[in-house]
Amino acid sequence: QVQLVQSGAEVKKPGASVKVSCKASGYSFRNYDMHWVRQAPGQGLEWMGIINPSGGSTTYAQNFQGRVTMTRDTSASTVYMELSSLRSEDTAVYYCARGWSDVLRFSDYWGQGTLVTVSS
Amino acid sequence: EVVLTQAPATLSVSPGERATLSCRASQSVSSDLAWYQQKPGQAPRLLIYGASTRATGIPARFSGSGSGTEFTLTITSLQSEDFAVYYCHQYNNWPPFTFGPGTKVDIK
């Protein structure tokens, strides 16, 4: 069965960076894009960007341009999301979510989420 | 950017009743609209894609309709496990992909 398992919770100071991992299993890793979506406490869902695990190409939301980097390790079937220059407003649960196809890019499977807390 | 609005923000419904949730897009998204259910402490769960296609394992009491800019999620005969927050999501015009602010369905 498809599984996306994310790394554990993180606590970071303002100005630091965080790198969250998402290990995929149960399907052909290279064939499905991966989205990253975040959710601040008590708030809605915010799309951050997408990575194609096959070629590594990425598209980021304008709100995160310059601060986010998405990478992948195909040998480990894992994608990574690194967010830099953290501020308190980046406190959120970060999700990876598999894209259904390269035409219909909604997400069908989601990771369990990783809580990132930014606090001095 | 396509802005999605959802109404109402909160819907109070008794178990066994019907719930009707609305999602409106600021411009046409064709039928590229999905609905997700989210319970506290859990990741979103895909319910509907293509505006009206139920995802695998989703009960028939969930149905979606609409196209263009107006969409509806209907839950007939609400069960206790259906009380949650529901988000609509457009994947037609990106970047960015966008989500609505959510509708919370709670027990009346």
- B53 three-state secondary structure: strand
User: Which of B62, B63, B55, B2 is CA-nearest to residue B30?
Assistant: B2
Q: CB neighbours of B39 closer than 8 A, spacing ≥ 6?
A: B84, B85
CA-to-CA distance for A98 and A104, rounded, in angstroms?
A: 11
pLDDT digits (tens, 9 = 90+) for A27-57: 999 999 999 999 999 999 999 999 999 999 9
pLDDT digits (tens, 9 = 90+) for A57-72: 999 999 999 999 999 9
User: Which of A33, A37, A80 is CA-nearest to residue A55?
Assistant: A33
Residue A49 buriedness (CB in 10 A; 0-12 / 13-18 / 19+): buried
CA-to-CA distance for A79 and A86, rounded, in angstroms?
A: 20
Q: Given A63, A95, A106, which is nearest B89 (Cβ)?
A: A106
Pick the residue from chain B with its C-alpha nearest to A100. B49
* A60 inside 8 A of chain B by CB: yes
Cβ pair A46:B91 closer than 8 A: no
User: Which of B21, B39, B42, B15 is CA-nearest to residue B100?
Assistant: B21
Residue A103, pLDDT above cutoff 90? no
pLDDT digits (tens, 9 = 90+) for B45-94: 999 999 999 999 999 999 999 999 999 999 999 999 999 999 999 999 99
